[in-house]
A = this chain, B = another copy of it.
Amino acid sequence: MELIDGNKIASDIIAELKAEVAQFTGRRPCIALVRVGEDPASISYVKKKEKTAAEIGLESRVILPPVTTTQTELFALLDNLNADPTVDGILVQSPLPKQIDELAVFRRVSPEKDVDGFNTLNLGKVAQEDESGFVACTPAGIMELLRRSSVDLKGKHVVVLGRSLIVGKPIALLAVQKKNGANATVTICHSGTTNLPEITRSADVLIAAIGRAEFVTADMVKPGAVVIDVGINRVADATKKNGYRLTGDVHFPSVSQIASKITPVPGGVGPMTVALLMKNTVKAYKASAR
């Protein structure tokens, strides 16, 4: 079994971006990080993104509207960022407070600055195999993990567990593209799937993004399969200082015994998401007039 080290691969990408950004003359690429309210997980995610941006040499602009912000106010803020020629990428950290329609917010971000890849137009471009847009960071990160771990999807059966807009559907659309590294046969499973273990056992590459702690057990995995664990679940654990531990959607102790390659949680897909956000920001910068 080979561990796919997301921290290592992400830091390779970060180093590559740093070298690329060092060549840029004039202003530096800039990402706006919008965090509404004080959700503890969001605070830590945005801090990580800010730190990674600084490491690469990107400018970041952190904007912290209060939790009481209305949708109209948030739209006005995004319109300003959309119009600002010194801002290349805009990230709105989710989850958003309940008075705000998350999908509408994602659509308000200009497609040219949508480094999160959640805008409808960018999702459509993934379906159209058009590389001019932005691919959502988690699925883009998974494709990079596979590529840099020498997993060629060509002719393979990829089973995606979960049909979310942010992971399941875009990774399915990426894996089925008629492109080098992709070209897989793809099955999308979900909570409504019957005979789930039978289907997951037919996977050469299993991507778990169902949001249920340790849901995928060894009996659901074909020996020798590549297993990508997208889940980040908090499980109560009295032995931990903060009262919980993080687990993925895969039962790592058993599945790692039979998988050929597997991502750990944490340290697998997670760090890739941040690295790809930065890569998208540099792409937006290069595509802009500057």
Contact = CB atoms under 8 A, between A and B. Distances in A.
A176 B188 contact: yes
Interface in A170-205: 170, 172-173, 176, 178, 183-190, 192-195, 199
A127 B128 contact: no
Given A123-B127, A127-B123, A190 B176 contact: yes
A154 interface: yes
Contact of A187 (B124, B165, B183, B186): B186
A85 interface: no
Copies of this chain in the oligomer: 2
Nearest to A198: B202
Contacts of A128: 103, 120, 123, 165
Given A103-B128, A128-B120, A169-B173, A188 B190 contact: no
Interface residues of A, number: 35
Interface residue SS majority, chain A: mixed
A47 interface: no
A149 B190 CA distance: 25
Interface string A143-187: 000000000001101000001010001101100101000011111
A273 interface: no
Task: Pick the 5 closest A-B CB pairs, nearest first.
Answer: A124-B124, A120-B124, A123-B124, A187-B187, A185-B193
